[in-house]
Every structure is written in C-alpha cells, then in structure tokens.
Amino acid sequence: MSAKPTFSHEISNLMYKSHGNPTKSCIQCGTCAGTCPVAEYMDQTPRRLIGMINANLKEEVLASNTYWFCASCYHCTVRCPSQIDIAGVMYAVKRYSIWNKSYSEDLVGPAFSEAFVKIIARSGRSYEPILAPTYMFSMEPKEFVQEAFNATKMMLKGRIPVLPTRIKHIKNFQEMIRRIIPIGGES
Amino acid sequence: MTQTRLLIIDDDPDYVDGIRSILEKANYEVDVAYNPQDGFKALESKSYDLLLLDIMMGRGAEGVMVARKINKDPNLREIPVLIITGIREQMAFLFPGQAVHPRFLPTDELLEKPVDPKLLLEKVAALLQEAKEKKAQKE
C-alpha cells in the first residue's frame, strides 16, 4: 500500500474493477496479436504492448499508437488463454494518456473521442458532420474527396441528417451525466 | 496526544508523493491507497481523521462513487473529506465554463489541482478543526 507503484501497477490500478486477470499473468503466447484485425496498423502488437507494460517501459508504451488503433472488438479478450481483459488494458492506457495528456499530437483518436463525447453530452446523438473534420484532414486528398462525396450522397438519401437531432428528454439525460461527472449545477 | 492520521486515495503516484511530503512535514501521519478498493480496505482497517480524495480514478469519475459510498456508511460519514481533483482539465470540455460541483458530502471541501501547499495545509487544518468541534458538540 505504501510503496510507490510502478507503471504496470498504475495500469492495474486503473483496471482494478475489470473482470479479467492483471497483465502480469500474460504468457506472451501472441494469440491476441494473431487475432487482432487491426494489428497490421499498430506499431506494437497487443502482445508486445502488454510485455512493455509489464516491463514498465512507460515512455515506449505511451508513444505507441496501439491503444488508439484498438477497435474494441474484444476478440483478444475472448481468446486470451490467461483471461486478461486486453481490450480493457487498451482502454486503461487510453485513460492514462488522456488524463496525463501524454499522447502524441498527430493522432486522430484523442480529438475524435473528445468531439464524440461532446456531441453525445450535448444532444444524446452522434452527428457526423461535426465529427468528420476531426479525422478528415489527416486523409490523403483523394480519400478526402471520396469521403466528402460519400457523405454528400448519404445526406441526399437521408442517411445523415442535415441538422443535428436531439433525443427526447435531453435534460434528463444531461442530469444523468452530471450524476456521473460532477460538473455544472447541483446534483 | 496521538498524531493526526490522514488517508490519501489517489492513483497518481507522483502527485501523491508531492502532497504526502507536504503533509508529513506538517507532522501528520499519512497513509496512501492507490485505488478506491484499497482505500476502502484502509478505511475499514484503521480509523482516520481526514480523507484526501481524488476524483478521476479507475474507470472514470470513481472518486464521486467513493464519496457517495462514504456518505451512506454511518461509521465513515463523520470523516471530513478534502477532494483534490484535476477534473476541470480532464473533463471540463463537456461543460465549458461551469463550476465543478462543490458538494458531494456534508463534510467535504474541494480543491483543484495543482494545489498550493499553504492552501492545502490551511484547508486540512480547518477541516480537522471543524470535525473536532462537531464531535465536541455531540458529546
């Protein structure tokens, strides 16, 4: 209790409520990396990331893009023979890097998450035209045009609303958020 | 007179080191728990005169849950709580310009990180004094 926790302890403190085993029980079998559908876009595979967390390589872990590329499909969590909640580990590292503002600036993930949460808190529904600019400018020109073209097409077909919509009883919903996140007004 | 005993529940080890050394220099006995679960274990195993509580821990704003749980427990409710949080920096983009909620417990105070050492010691002393007066009144 009194000894200063290492980086791997900090991560397990962030996950103390998760159902899986702590990262220390990893046997480095590589099932997670073999299963991961987005592993090819990551600079470190999930197996390596867990190994790095266990070795307390804090800077290297935070500098990797692995946890931002995780698509949260939970396939690794399901297949892990040591019952580690690997998707949970990814979320824990994400929280760590957001709370400590230690992610690299060129990533789309943090800005996207912030915009998404903001939109949800305000209207209760996702609204793509506000969300898109957070990632569109990091695209190649050709992809950018394609994306804009697709979005316009979907808008014309009524798949993307032109004006942002709100859920019913938005006040109640915001009240609920305030119960969890203690900012603004009385609860 | 026995030494005043404080408990810190905070998951940021560097920050804990900072306030711990400030408090220990001021002659308080300080225990630390780095997650809410250990925090509750400590609260149950020993009696503390004051609790310093972080908000953003574990899966999110779990400090709030800790505060609510303490408020429900008749034994723990008497402990004064000083909430020290960086929540404005971490989450305030959700409700820009709005105040961080001032009260979770009848006994609490809230400071925002980074905390000025002098202010921290003042608040701690004031809360302890208040708790003492309340206790004396009851008796």
Instruction: Collapse the DSSP code of B57 into the 3-class scheme (helix H, G, I; strand E, B; otherwise coil) and give the result.
Output: strand
| Residue B39 pLDDT > 80 | yes
pLDDT given at position A89: 93
Would you state the structure tokens that stand for residue A93, as one six-digit string?
């590292």
Instruction: Please indicate whether residue A163 or residue B113 has the higher confidence score (pLDDT).
Output: A163
CATH fold for the domain made of B5-87+100-138: Rossmann fold (3.40.50)
Whether B61 and chain A come into contact, CB under 8 Å, resolves to: yes
**Percent of chain B surpassing pLDDT 70:** 85
What band does A187 get if pLDDT is binned at 50, 70 and 90? very low
- Average pLDDT over chain A, rounded to an integer: 87
CB contact under 8 A, A117 and B94: yes
More confident residue, B56 or A93: A93
The residue ranges of every structural domain in chain B are 5-87+100-138
Nearest to B98 among A2, A114, A184 (CB): A184
Q: pLDDT confidence of A107, banded at 50, 70, 90?
A: confident
According to CATH, the topology of domain A7-99 is Fumarate Reductase Iron-sulfur Protein; Chain B, domain 2 (1.10.1060)
Q: Under an 8 A CB cutoff, do A183 and B95 touch?
A: yes
Q: Can you give the pLDDT at residue B100?
A: 63
- What is the interface size between A and B, counted as CB pairs within 8 Å? 82
Quick: pLDDT tens for B83-95. Answer: 888 777 666 666 6
User: Residue B96: its pLDDT value, please?
Assistant: 63
* Residues of B (64-103) whose Cβ lies below 8 Å from A: 64, 86-95, 98-101
pLDDT tens column, A30-61: 999 999 999 999 999 999 999 999 999 999 99
Residue B116 confidence (pLDDT) above 50: yes
Three-state DSSP string of A88-116:
HHHHHHHHHHHHCCCCCCCCCHHHHHHHH
Residues B50, B124 contacting (CB under 8 angstroms): yes
**pLDDT of A60:** 92
Cβ distance B86 to A178 less than 8 Å, yes or no, reads no
- For B116, phi then psi, to 5°, come to -75, 125
> What are residue B61's DSSP bridge partners?
B57
- Mean per-residue pLDDT for B48-62? 87
Q: Cβ separation of B31 and A121 shorter than 8 Å?
A: no
Q: Determine the pLDDT at residue B2.
A: 72
Q: Which residue ranges make up each domain of chain A?
A: 7-99, 109-180
Q: What is the pLDDT of residue A39?
A: 93
B127 pLDDT above the threshold of 60: yes
- At residue B61, the pLDDT reads 81
A101 has a pLDDT exceeding 90: no
Look up the ipTM and state it.
0.80
Using the beta-carbon criterion (under 8 Å), do B101 and A186 form an inter-chain contact?
A: yes
Least Cα separation, residue A118 to chain B (angstroms): 5
